[in-house]
Amino acid sequence: MPEFAVGASDALVVVDLQVDFCPGGALAVRGGDQVVPPVNRLLALPGWLKVATRDWHPPGHVSFRAQGGAWPPHCVAGTPGARFHPGVDASRVDLIVSKAARPEADAYSGFEGTALAADLRGRGVKRIFVCGLATDYCVRATALDGRREGLEVVVVEDAVRAVDLKEGDGARALEEMRRAGCRMARSGDIAG
Ligand code: VGL
Ligand code: ZN
């Protein structure tokens, strides 16, 4: 028996599974492309809402080093690096949420500066399953904001990967999510 049966009050939230966050990209997450198969299995499950967030920066974004930010230029809106990883079955995505699209503000969470919370509420979603990139940045922020929004949050552990700028960042982020009330699941324990 799968541990998690998903239905109309659930949503899958695929975070930033974009070319620039995968090996060969401008801000590559080690093993980032390895989440594509489990994410595609989840996208193929019927009966729930499927959301994909994307980092969608203007050129000259405040998070880029030339502007004093922490990162190399990445996920510039409309460029190849900002596309979803080509292996992702994007045709199954019901709702695309673009974030951090204003030059002067960064946003790691898919809820920050977007209509995601209202869209989920409007569709009666009570529980979100979070996967994608990166565990220690946008996955973490999205999962924690989901809790703040009053949602049940399940993190799909085999479908996330961390930047690990400092060793252990990913593991610490998972622990923080647990402490905030997020549950952990394996993708194989989720069924429609
Ligand atoms: C992210 C660093 C910079 C992420 C986005 O999607 O986790 N990380 N921008
Ligand atoms: Zn970014």
CATH of the domain at 88: 3.40.50.850
- Per-residue pLDDT tens listing for the chain (192 residues): 679 999 999 999 999 999 999 999 999 999 999 999 999 999 999 999 999 999 999 999 999 999 999 999 999 999 999 999 999 999 999 999 999 999 999 999 999 999 999 999 999 999 999 999 999 999 999 999 999 999 999 999 999 999 999 999 999 999 999 999 999 999 999 998
Expressed in angstroms and rounded, the spacing between residue 63 Cα and the centre of ligand 2 is 7
pLDDT of residue 160: 98
Q: Residue 185: CB within 6 Å of ligand 1? A: no
Per the structure, the count of domains in the chain is: 1
Q: Residue 16: CB within 6 Å of ligand 1? A: yes
Condensed to tens digits (0 to 9), the pLDDT of residues 3-59 reads: 999 999 999 999 999 999 999 999 999 999 999 999 999 999 999 999 999 999 999
Using CA atoms, how far residue 80 sits from 83, 94, 188, in Å, is 5, 21, 31
Burial class (CB in 10 A: 0-12, 13-18, 19+), 166: exposed
pLDDT of residue 1: 64
**Which is the catalytic residue, given 10, 16, 33, 55?**
16
- What DSSP designation does 169 have? H
Using CA atoms, how far residue 11 sits from 85, 86, 102, 115, 150, in Å, is 20, 22, 26, 15, 14
Residue minimizing CA distance to atom 2 of ligand 1? 137
Model-level pTM?
0.98
Burial class (CB in 10 A: 0-12, 13-18, 19+), 170: buried
Q: What's the half-sphere exposure (Cβ side, CA atoms, 13 Å) at 53? A: 34
Domain extent, residue 28, equals 4-191
CA distance 56 to 30: 21
